[in-house]
Amino acid sequence: MTSLKSANVDDERTRNLSRIFASQIQEVVRAALQGIDHITDLRRLPGGASQEIWTLEAVGPGLRRRLILRRQPPGATYPDKINLEIEAELMRVVEAAGVPTPHVIHVLTPADGIGRGFLMEHVEGEGLGHRIVRSEAFAAIRPKLAFQIGGILARIHGVDTALLPMLPRKSAASEVTDMHETYRRFSQPRPVFELSFCWLRERMDTDAAAHTLVHGDFRNGNMIVGPDGLRAVLDWELAHLGDPMSDLGWLCTNSWRYGEIDKPVGGFGDRDDLVAGYEAAGGAKIDPAALHYWEVLGTLRWGVMCIEMGARAKQSDRPVELSMIGRRASEAEIDLLRLIAPRRT
């Protein structure tokens, strides 16, 4: 009986906190948008590896708008990511440059009382990678997506970097160094990973001068797609100034093909179409060797991420999910061998 009463008290406390949170968000929305009386259908969406994603509907006389709240969990810190205020500012810059991304409506302030984050417009479409590569709803657009996305990446990389003084700079050398430190901290030696680090260091272009805006996590799963094509690029938290080929290589990494391994661009397209779309939209001419280099680096990056997530599983509230991801480090080893030591026929 005591445990039942305790559970009821906890449930009531949770409901009260939820009502307070909803009321606070409602006041933020009403202040940010004219003609809004209240909000409805507030719920947290699944997913979001680091940030909370909430969906809600803003309602007023003859007006209904679906919105998204991207919010940092209380107490969380992410030293390897730009903060949400900078992310919102960046999204406004790239939107003005013609990059499809959700429109930012309001950036939270301490006075709002609900932490750090921002409100943005909801973009209708599909964001789940496995559905984008398999659903019949996208059968007609899939053959055109790689070319279209190549053009959008060229637009991203063409954004005036003078508008982005708030972003950090990264190079292949710094990325490889950071990855190796993480790998040594969380893993026992793995011969394939050791070989890959050597391969990357031996072929590193230390004279690479191109430093453009880089999304940092441009892949299938971080975009909204409709039957007409790509509608929005999401999750800019890893954006930086660096080598533009890193975005193309990451997009081609096998982990983001969702089982469609013969379609290297996100599981839906070919590299030739991606390159053609990129160059046709004004992007720099792509060296196939540079693209291959960054695909290897991206594959190793994913493998190290798997190792880290697996190691952190015991300290997380998502131990099963993180353990399952951790086991995928072995898949990255296979992918790396195919890339740097392909079987001769």
Whether the pLDDT of residue 6 is over 50: the answer is no
Check whether residue 185 and residue 278 sit in a common domain. Answer: yes
pLDDT for res 77: 78
Alpha-carbon Rg for the chain, nearest whole angstrom, is 22
Check whether residue 204 and residue 326 sit in a common domain. Answer: yes
User: Domain span at residue 265?
Assistant: 129-340
Kindly indicate the confidence band of residue 7, based on its pLDDT and cuts at 50, 70 and 90: very low
Q: Is 69 helix (H, G, I), strand (E, B) or coil?
A: strand
Please report, for the domain that includes residue 209, its CATH number.
Answer: 3.90.1200.10
Q: What is the pLDDT of residues 229-243, one digit of tens each?
A: 999 999 999 999 999
Q: What is the pLDDT of residues 329-339, one digit of tens each?
A: 999 999 999 99
Report yes or no on 105 lying in a domain: yes
* Mean pLDDT, residues 76-91: 91
Kind plus residue range of the DSSP H or E element containing 41 = strand 38-44
Check whether residue 173 and residue 56 sit in a common domain. Answer: no
Check whether residue 303 and residue 175 sit in a common domain. Answer: yes
Report yes or no on 188 lying in a domain: yes
Which residues are paired to 120 by β-bridges? 68, 104
Report yes or no on 5 lying in a domain: no
Neighbours of 271 (CB within 10 A): 20
- Distance, CA of 43 to CA of 70 (rounded, Å): 12
Check whether residue 21 and residue 148 sit in a common domain. Answer: no
- Cβ density class 16-33: b for 16+ within 10 Å, e for less: eeeeeebeebbebbbebb
Neighbours of 9 (CB within 10 A): 10
Whether the pLDDT of residue 47 is over 90: the answer is no
Check whether residue 73 and residue 48 sit in a common domain. Answer: yes
Lowest mean pLDDT among 40-44, 84-88, 139-143: 40-44
Whether the pLDDT of residue 42 is over 90: the answer is yes
DSSP for 165-213?
TTS-B--HHHHHHHHHHHHHHH----HHHHHHHHHHHHT--TT----EE
Kindly indicate the confidence band of residue 188, based on its pLDDT and cuts at 50, 70 and 90: confident
Report yes or no on 1 lying in a domain: no
- DSSP-H helix ranges across 33-171: 84-96, 129-134, 142-157
Check whether residue 175 and residue 302 sit in a common domain. Answer: yes
On whether the CB atoms of residues 267 and 260 are closer than 8 A, the answer is yes
Check whether residue 246 and residue 335 sit in a common domain. Answer: yes
pLDDT for res 315: 74
Check whether residue 149 and residue 295 sit in a common domain. Answer: yes
Please report, for the domain that includes residue 24, its CATH number.
Answer: 3.30.200.20
Lowest mean pLDDT among 7-21, 55-69, 109-123, 188-202: 7-21
Check whether residue 242 and residue 139 sit in a common domain. Answer: yes
pLDDT for res 160: 96
Check whether residue 270 and residue 303 sit in a common domain. Answer: yes
CA dist list (Å): 67 to 29, 52, 102, 106, 221: 9, 14, 10, 11, 19
Check whether residue 209 and residue 327 sit in a common domain. Answer: yes
pLDDT for res 3: 57
DSSP for 220-252?
TTSEEEETTEEEEE---TT-EEE-THHHHHHHT
State how many domains the chain has: 2
Neighbours of 159 (CB within 10 A): 18
Q: What is the pLDDT of residues 121-174, one digit of tens each?
A: 999 999 999 999 999 999 999 999 999 999 999 999 999 999 999 999 999 999
Supply the mean pLDDT for the chain. Answer: 90
Q: The pTM is what?
A: 0.90
CA dist list (Å): 193 to 83, 196, 257, 291, 293: 31, 5, 21, 19, 15
The answer for residues whose C-beta is within 8 angstroms of residue 273's C-beta and 6 or more apart is 146, 147, 150, 265
CA dist list (Å): 157 to 17, 68, 103, 122, 216: 43, 26, 19, 25, 11
Kindly indicate the confidence band of residue 75, based on its pLDDT and cuts at 50, 70 and 90: confident
Kindly indicate the confidence band of residue 48, based on its pLDDT and cuts at 50, 70 and 90: low
